[in-house]
């Protein structure tokens, strides 16, 4: 097989979700090739295996897809299944890996990070269950990337990604598939499309912001064509390789226009947005933002109303920084609640083992055992299904939820692109003091427990430690602090603030007011300003 000599790059350590770097780094000769070969060397797929390849359509997507196809041909794969135009949303790629019983898949995305020549790019390897490779595989990929000295690549012309059907690159069959069809069919199995269609026909109005990213074609097909929402329901629905110059992150900062529309007097009944690769979601009702943590809790409480979940849930899993709202639902349903480190890859084993049905993260991710990735449109459809059955508004549903379970006020403060030294010093400083914190009072808050989160996967007994500091106060409030594993510049500090009010407590406070004592406590405990050299967070979500 044709081999090219190469030398290692020292910076190919996958983060929370694959390898994410600036496009210009990925454009260096041999850079993507080294990483892809490291993946192939580690996974040792049998000859003739199937590989799914797709991306979120961002700048540089097609270049790397062609490279990956030539390399798959030279590494003995028998078939590559690729989305037309090189496009597959991350949940659709996960679905295809499972449906086609592929050995694995390469997903080309930097998710919610900006795109374009000056933006970000990424490569993630997903295993045969459709989920992100677990840490033992990503660690091995990094180790291999540190010593790589050759990669295999066919000298072949580009594949025509625009034409559906089969083509060949040497012995490799390349199958270009419609990106939306299989995914839309799966959604029809899980949800009561008739009920949602009837609700929309009855005057229920919704708005979906695809943020110029990958969910545009999926949302047009599902929401407008299949569910009958009027044209114009999907906004920013044509994918662009630079996301229209915007930041495709569905939060209150980057989806501001949608937020303002939903807060207006004549707002639609329901608003939602998804990110660059279609796995995140933002949920809004008229006059109300539902935090991702609350969304997970509300969806878990009512999931049985959708046909795909009528048998009930086996368990709920949430990442550690996600609020404890879902824990209260799990307790009431008397099902398992798993607290895992940040990163969807930690949910895969629980889902495979039937220990959880629904998973969620504060970072705008929710999903279930239908695939092994979080899934933005899935969350939107489950919300719509629940609203269609219950015939109440989003605001009414959340108010009722809080009256049943209590309310968890929640916010995440991000300090982006700060100096690595300051970030490391902050984390080291608080880790050193953890043992001394219990019993300490900060304002009106008393520390009950403080630790550096470690998780032992119950299915393979592998422990992941150093996953973020938790400071828990009497009464159920918490501060969590960790460094992001998805940024591409400097360090990003995330401070997660959470205050619990019981069902008979104050359920109608403004989030900022409710969390003010925790903001002050975080500054007192962590000296955020001096370590970050910032007076305030860059993004509050
Ligand atoms: C990725 C992971 C998520 C994680 C998020 C934020 O999401 O898949 O599990 O919660 O990053 O991670 P961090 O806090 O380390 O930046 P995505 O949508 O970027 O793939």
pLDDT along the chain (541 residues), means of 10: 94 94 98 98 98 97 98 98 97 97 97 95 98 95 98 97 97 97 97 98 98 97 98 97 95 94 97 98 98 98 98 98 98 98 95 98 97 98 98 98 98 96 97 98 97 97 96 96 91 97 96 97 97 95 89
Domain count, the chain: 3
Contact 438, 450 (CB under 8 A): yes
Closest atom, ligand 1, to C-alpha of 90: 20
Output the domain CATH number for residue 515. 3.30.310.50
Q: How far is the centre of ligand 1, averaged over its atoms, from the C-alpha of 442 (Å)?
A: 30
224 and 155, same domain (yes or no): no
What residue's CA is closest to ligand 1, atom 4?
343
User: Rounded to the nearest whole angstrom, what is the distance from the C-alpha of residue 250 to the centroid of ligand 1?
Assistant: 13
> How much distance in Å is there from the Cα of 351 to the middle of ligand 1?
18
Question: What pLDDT score does 140 carry?
Answer: 97
pTM for the model: 0.96
Helix (H) or strand (E) holding 246, with range, is none
User: 344 and 209, same structural domain?
Assistant: yes
Q: Residues 499, 500, 505, 507: is their CA dihedral positive or negative?
A: positive
DSSP conformational letter for 169: E
For the annotated catalytic residues, the residue numbers are: 111
| CA distance linking residue 455 with residue 448, whole number of Å | 20
* CB contact at 8 A, 124 and 17: yes
Tell me the best of 17, 56, 293 to mutate to test the pocket of ligand 1, counting ligand atoms within 8 Å of each CB and taking the most. Answer: 17
Q: What is the pLDDT of residue 487?
A: 82
416 lines ligand 1 (CB under 6 A): no
- Out of 405, 431, 458, pick the residue that ends a domain: 405
Please work out whether the CB of residue 112 comes within 6 Å of at least one atom of ligand 1.
yes
Regarding the beta carbon of 16 and ligand 1, being less than 6 Å apart is answered yes
Backbone angles phi, psi at 268, to 5 degrees: -60, 170
Q: How far is the CA of 343 from the centre of ligand 1 (A)?
A: 6
Q: Which of residues 343, 372, 405 is at a domain's end?
A: 405
32-77 pLDDT, tens digit each = 999 999 999 999 999 999 999 999 999 999 999 999 999 999 999 9
Residue with tokens 């990070």: 113
pLDDT digits (tens, 9 = 90+) for 289-320: 999 999 999 999 999 999 999 999 999 999 99
| 293 Cβ below 6 A of ligand 1 | no
Judgement on whether residues 302 and 442 belong to the same structural domain of the protein: no
Instruction: Report which of 31, 90, 18 is spatially closest to residue 57, judged by C-alpha positions.
Output: 90
**Closest approach atom of ligand 1 to CA 275:** 18
Q: Please indicate, yes or no, whether residues 378 and 504 belong to a single structural domain of this protein.
A: no
> What is the average pLDDT value for the chain, to the nearest integer?
97
Task: Report the separation in Å between the CA atom of 140 and the middle of ligand 1, taken as the mean of its atom positions.
Answer: 20
Per-residue confidence (pLDDT) for residue 273, from 0 to 100 = 98
Distance 315 CA to ligand 1 centre (A): 22
For ligand 1, whether the C-beta of 343 sits within 6 Å is yes
Note the pLDDT of residue 489. 86
| pLDDT tens string 392-435 | 999 999 999 999 999 999 999 999 999 999 999 999 999 999 99
Cα–Cα–Cα angle for 75, 80, 82, rounded to 5 degrees: 140
Nearest CA to ligand 1 atom 9: 343
Cα 34–Cα 280–Cα 318 angle in degrees, nearest 5:
95
Is the same domain home to 390 and 415? no
The rounded distance, in Å, linking the Cα atoms of 519 and 513 is 10
Q: Which two tokens stand for residue 315?
A: 């368990």
Atom 3 of ligand 1, residue of closest alpha carbon: 343
Q: Which atom of ligand 1 is nearest to the CA of 492?
A: 16
Rounded Cα distance, 472 and 219, in Å: 40
163 and 203 co-located in one domain: no
Give the structural domain span for 251: 182-405
* Cα 541 off chain centre by: 15
Given 155, 179, 203, which residue is the final one in a domain?
A: 179
Same-domain status, 169 and 216: no
- Ligand 1 atom nearest to 486, measured from its CA: 16
425 and 287 in one domain? Answer: no
The first and second tokens of residue 359, run together, are 């998973």
275 and 320 share one domain? yes
- Residues in the chain, overall count: 541
- For ligand 1, whether the C-beta of 488 sits within 6 Å is no
Q: Assess whether 457 and 413 both reside in one domain.
A: yes
- Render pLDDT for 76-110 as a digit per residue (tens, 0 to 9): 999 999 999 999 999 999 999 999 999 999 999 99
Both 340 and 478 in one domain: the answer is no
The domain that holds 21 is classified in CATH as 3.40.120.10
Which pLDDT score is estimated for 16? 87
Does any ligand 1 atom lie closer than 6 A to the CB of residue 485? yes
- Residue 488 has what pLDDT? 82
Q: Which residue has the tokens 């379970």?
A: 405
Q: Are residues 325 and 401 in the same domain?
A: yes
């Amino acid at each position: 097989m044709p081999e090219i000599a190469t030398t290692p790059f020292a910076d190919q350590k996958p983060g929370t979700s694959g390898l994410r770097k600036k496009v210009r780094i990925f454009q260096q000769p041999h850079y993507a090739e080294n990483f892809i070969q490291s993946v192939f060397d580690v996974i040792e797929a049998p000859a003739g295996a199937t590989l799914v390849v797709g991306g979120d359509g961002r700048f540089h997507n097609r270049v790397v897809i062609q490279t990956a196809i030539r390399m798959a041909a030279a590494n003995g794969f028998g078939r590559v299944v690729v989305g037309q135009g090189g496009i597959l949303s991350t949940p659709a790629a996960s679905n295809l890996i499972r449906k086609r019983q592929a050995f694995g898949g390469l997903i080309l995305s930097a998710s919610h990070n900006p795109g374009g020549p000056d933006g970000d790019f990424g490569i993630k390897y997903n295993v045969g269950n459709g989920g992100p490779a677990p840490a033992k595989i990503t660690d091995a990929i990094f180790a291999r990337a540190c010593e790589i000295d050759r990669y295999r690549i066919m000298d072949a012309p580009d594949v025509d990604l625009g034409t559906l059907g089969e083509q060949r690159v040497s012995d490799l069959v390349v199958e270009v598939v419609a990106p939306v069809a299989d995914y839309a069919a799966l959604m029809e199995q899980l949800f009561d499309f008739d009920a949602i269609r009837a609700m929309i026909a009855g005057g229920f109005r919704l708005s979906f912001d695809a943020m110029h990213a990958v969910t545009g074609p999926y949302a047009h097909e599902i929401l407008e064509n299949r569910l009958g929402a009027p044209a114009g329901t999907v906004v920013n629905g044509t994918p662009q390789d630079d996301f229209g110059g915007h930041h495709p992150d569905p939060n209150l900062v980057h989806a501001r226009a949608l937020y303002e529309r939903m807060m207006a007097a004549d707002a639609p009944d329901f608003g939602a947005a998804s990110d660059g690769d279609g796995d995140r979601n933002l949920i809004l009702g008229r006059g109300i933002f539902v935090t991702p943590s609350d969304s997970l809790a509300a969806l878990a409480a009512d999931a049985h109303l959708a046909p795909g979940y009528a048998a009930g849930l086996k368990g709920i899993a949430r990442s550690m920084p996600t609020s404890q709202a879902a824990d209260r639902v799990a307790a009431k349903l008397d099902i398992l609640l798993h607290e895992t480190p940040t990163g969807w890859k930690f949910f895969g084993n629980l889902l495979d083992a039937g220990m959880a049905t629904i998973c969620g993260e504060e970072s705008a991710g929710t999903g279930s055992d239908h695939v092994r990735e979080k899934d933005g449109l899935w969350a939107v459809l489950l919300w719509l299904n629940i609203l269609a059955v219950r015939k109440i508004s989003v605001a009414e549903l959340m108010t009722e939820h809080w009256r049943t379970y209590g309310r968890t006020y929640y916010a995440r403060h991000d300090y982006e692109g700060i100096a690595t030294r300051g970030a490391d010093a902050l984390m080291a400083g608080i880790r050193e003091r953890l043992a001394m914190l219990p019993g300490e009072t900060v304002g009106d808050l008393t520390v009950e427990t403080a630790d550096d989160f470690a998780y032992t996967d119950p299915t393979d007994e592998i422990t992941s430690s150093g996953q973020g500091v938790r400071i828990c106060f009497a009464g159920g409030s918490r501060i969590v602090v960790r460094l992001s594993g998805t940024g591409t510049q400097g360090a990003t500090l995330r401070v997660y603030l959470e205050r619990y009010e019981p069902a008979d407590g104050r359920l109608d406070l403004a989030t900022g007011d409710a969390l003010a004592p925790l903001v002050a406590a975080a500054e007192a405990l962590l000296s955020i300003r001096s370590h970050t050299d910032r007076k305030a967070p860059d993004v509050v979500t």
